[in-house]
Structure 1
Amino acid sequence: MAAFIFLIALFTLMPSTLPADAAETSEAALLITVDRSGKGNYEKIQDAIDAVPSNNKEVVFILVKPGIYEEKIVVPADKPFITLSGSNANSTILTGNDSGNIIESATLTVLASDFVGRYLTIQNTFRKHGVQAVALRISSDRVAFFECRILGYQDTLLDEAGRHYYRNCYIEGAVDFICGNGASLFERCHLHTLSEEFSAITAQRRESPTEETGFTFLGCKITGERTGILGRPWGPYSRVVFAFTYMSNVILPRGWDDWGDASKRSTVFYGEYKCYGAGANVSRRVEWSQKHMPEEVKLFLTKNISGRRSWIRSTPKHFKKSFAAISINSTQHS
């Protein structure tokens, strides 16, 4: 269980997301605006991201004005320290309809470290049972999302790799809709199941006992339109913990599934601690799930762990002009 303590403790130990030189010299973030109407620096989100220099060392704040942006967006690995922000998730919508490939179908792909997403809806509108259609893919370290809506059906959120933090996000889907091998904390998030046939909220993919990865859900809420389970193991050492989480009656009494491989029952860790609601009764859970966690984990979960966010940038209060390459009301990329 020391490994799961690490999973939550790493949010306390992470360094600041600001690069050392930028933290010392930059008093304001570089501001880029995206507006479909042509009143910003760019009309497309991808064009704004492309304007950020490779190996960027300054905090860049991309403000996305309300609108529906039908784009496949990629934040490249060589462009860290970007914040992508709307002002209201209900009115700032990034949308796609790609499917069939868990890596390539994502509407938004984050490959850069130190990325922050705020007040956005990120969705993949493709709906077919058994077909992968990712809304958001994250494959980088120190990434955070606040007040976002992440919508899809199968594999909605591919939390692929790295340390991630989600707060007050609404995440919707059906089959394995939070999946991958990240080390991720979901705090006060709302998880909503949609399945017409089978619903699994998580499919965590930890492959070996040495990997410090897993999903922790803290103070979350689970609702749905159909019944489902809390998770099943994509990887043989899958790890998921739900703590202080409201579970409606959509959660089936068995709680968890071994994905047809009984050998994984002895290597996964599925924990529940002080959850409540009609779906939180552990008396009929599968016998191989962890109904009770060791005292050391309980003590850690009840501590004040606000320091876990020390590596996450706050919203800038001051801005300076964007890169010289960007011209106001630019239309060359429309």
Structure 2
Amino acid sequence: MKLTLTLSFLPSVWAIARNTPPAGAIIVAKSGADYDTIGKAIMALDMGHFVNQTIFIGAGVYDEQVEIPALRGRLTIYGETSDASSYLNNTVTVTHNISAAQVEGEITATLGNAAASSRIYNINVINTHGPGPKALALSATATQQGYYGCQFGGYHGTIHTQVGGTVLFAKGLVSGTTNFIFGDYARVWFDHVDIKARPLPRDGYITASYRASSNDPSYFVINNSTIEATSMEVKPRSCFLGRPEASYACVVFQNTYMSDVINPSGWSSWSSTLPSTGHVLFGEYENTGPGSQGARANFATELEAPLEISDILNDDYKTWSQVYPADTGGRDVFALSSVIVKSSHLHALEDGHCPEIDFSYADANEIQAISLAKIVLCDVEAPEIYFSGNINRRQVLIQERLLGVALCVAWPYLTREQKLSFKEQSREIIHQLHTIKPSEKLQSRSHIVPDPNILTNGRINPLEGDMLFAPIENDTDLSFMHNDFTQSKCIVDNDTIVGFVDWEMAGFFGWKTAGEIHRRIRNPQREHFVNANLSEKRLQDIMFWNNLYDEGVPENHGSLIADRA
């Protein structure tokens, strides 16, 4: 199977682990934090001043109904995860059970968000009510909201948007049965979102636009996404792309894979007695898969060109919709044509200075590590570094963008045999790197270019610091290790790992230490999902990458001495 995946609206295929709270964040956790519920953290926010605020939520299942009020400043909420580039490793779930049989429809939402310019990352939001009356997971009622790497699960009416503005969903998952993306007065863009149809005795409908007039700006666009069933219980051809809750509905699916769960007609009227199709725009462009084929309804439109994100979210969307922004002191990562740029230029200066972590050691480490890696990696590329230095008092790194896609992007589409093959290829790469040994003068664990402030400047979390630099060391096999060998660092093409990126944490460590860092820091733990009600098969897939080092130290087939060490 050849992997051909188009990446759009992604500043990077690099993963960003969020295992520790950013500086100044309000912390929520089951124990030992500022608050033990999300609602208490929301109540602690400053409601009256123009301040930007952050909430960090630790792993766990939080059974509560969360209401975020209107705020004057920007609110950012992070869920703990080992890989923020996807929803697959989310460890935070907010869940509640309430339906329109008990309260008014929109009040059923597990998460209600009335905060403009808010951004939410890597949180699962579930309404567990099940089939029947409307039971929302999310009600978004303010403009310029972004949801990244989030899962939204429900049945009838999973996501409701009524914001008088714009909303972005990226790299997430939405599941439901009936009208599970609905609303009006909102221009909404879904990018690289997995849409899952749940089983239902009758037909299902993904979208239900309530655009009642030509003056309503409402628009739903689903771009570069996938539509599949949640299980074999969902009958083929049982789900429609949408139906019009009002007669001016505007919905477009483009560059999206559609499984056979989609009915060949594609679209449906609202009902036989109230079709509401007189002025709809139900458009499609360059979709693929069996569900994209068939004679579409006579009120559907085949578009001649795709819509651009700026058409829907306006030209200023980049100012509020960073998919993977850095924490305070960090650097954002952008993909610009054939290069990757790491920079903090979008972060505000404080008193004329950028409150930025000193990345000079990290960048120097990456340059030296790549130079070493290229000695032994014959068929696997490491990126060229084109520039490392300061521009306008900001630390900037510009490097080659390798061709291919990140393994974490391809992962949901792979067979088990392909996953096993990529794991074995990764082990071979680790073995090749392991042949590089430090010079005799290096007797303890170390990065290639040691950072004297790494334990205090926020580059690594305290647990990793303890594991790497504990006074008592038991590594007798110091060797060159990438030390961040996650799926997001593997660049793949045509069933082969063709490149490896992000070498800033590389150094000389023992096999046991590298394995412990990999299991405990870089990847999710089983205990994170103890209350998440996941199947054993799903848990095993989440943990699939954790045992990369478990086969033990490879046999010595010769070694190289690194002069730089």
Verify: 1:205 aligned to 2:210, yes or no: yes
Q: Could you tell me which residue of structure 1 aligns to residue 261 of structure 2?
A: 250
Matched, 1:82 2:82: no
Q: Which amino acid aligns with 2:93?
A: I
User: What residue in structure 1 maps to residue 98 of structure 2?
Assistant: 98
Shift of 1:47: 1.0
Pick aligned residue for 2:321 from 300, 312, 325:
312
Q: What residue number does 2:182 align with?
A: 179
Q: How many residues align?
A: 287
Asked which structure has the greater RCO (Cα within 8 Å, sep 6+), the reply is 1
- Cα separation, 1, equivalents of 2:319 and 2:26: 25
- Alignment counterpart, residue 59 of structure 1, candidates 52, 65, 85: 52
How far apart are residue 300 of structure 1 and its match?
4.7
Distance 1:31 1:234, change over 3 A: same
The Cα of 1:55 is off from its aligned counterpart by 3.0
After TM superposition, give the deviation of residue 72 of structure 1 in Å. Answer: 0.7
Q: In 2, are the aligned partners of 1:248 and 1:279 still within 8 Å (CA)? A: yes
Higher mean Cα deviation, 163-172 or 75-84? 75-84
Give the structure with higher Rg (CA): 2
- 1:140 matches 2:120: no
**Aligned partner of residue 146 in structure 2, secondary structure:** strand
Residue 262 of structure 1: how far off its partner (Å):
5.6
Partner of 2:158: 156
> Counterpart in 1 of 2:368?
none
* Structure 1 CA distance for aligned equivalents of residues 150 and 290 of structure 2: 27
Distance 1:221 1:61, change over 3 A: same
Match among 18, 29, 32 for residue 35 of structure 1:
29
- 1:49 is paired with a residue whose SS is helix
Residue 265 of structure 1 aligns to a residue whose secondary structure is coil
The structure-2 alpha-carbon separation of the partners of 1:205 and 1:133, relative to structure 1 and needing over 3 Å to count, comes to same
2:310–2:317 contact (8 Å) kept in structure 1: no
**Measured at CA, do residues 74 and 235 of structure 1 come closer, stay the same or move farther in structure 2, by a change above 3 Å?**
same
1:118–1:209 CA distance, 2 compared to 1 (3 A): same
The whole-number CA distance in structure 2 between the counterparts of 1:318 and 1:298 is 37
Distance in 1 between residues matched to 2:280 and 2:241, nearest whole Å? 13
> What are the equivalent positions in structure 2 for 1:211-226 lying under 5 Å apart?
211-224=216-229, 225-226=234-235
The residue type equivalent to 2:298 in the other structure is E
CA distance in 1, matches of 2:307, 2:193: 22
Task: Sort the Cα spacing of 1:95 and 1:268 in 2 relative to 1 into closer, same or farther, 3 A.
Answer: same
- Cα RMSD for the two superposed structures: 2.4
CA distances 1:123-161 after superposition (whole Å, capped 9, x unpaired): 0001123x1110111010000000011001110111222
CA distance in 2, matches of 1:155, 1:53: 31
Query: 1:135, 1:157 within 8 Å by CA — same for their partners in 2?
Result: yes
Kept after mapping to 2: 8 A contact 1:175/1:195: no
State the percentage of identical aligned residues: 26
SS of aligned partner of 1:267? coil
TM, length-normalised to structure 1? 0.80
Number of the residue aligned with 1:50: 43
Counterpart code for 1:168? K
1:29–1:58 Cα contact (<8 Å) kept:
no
* CA distance in structure 1 between the partners assigned to 2:126 and 2:34 by the alignment: 24
Q: Secondary structure at the match of 2:220?
A: strand
Alignment partner of 1:116 out of 93, 116, 119: 119
Q: TM-score, normalised by structure 2?
A: 0.48
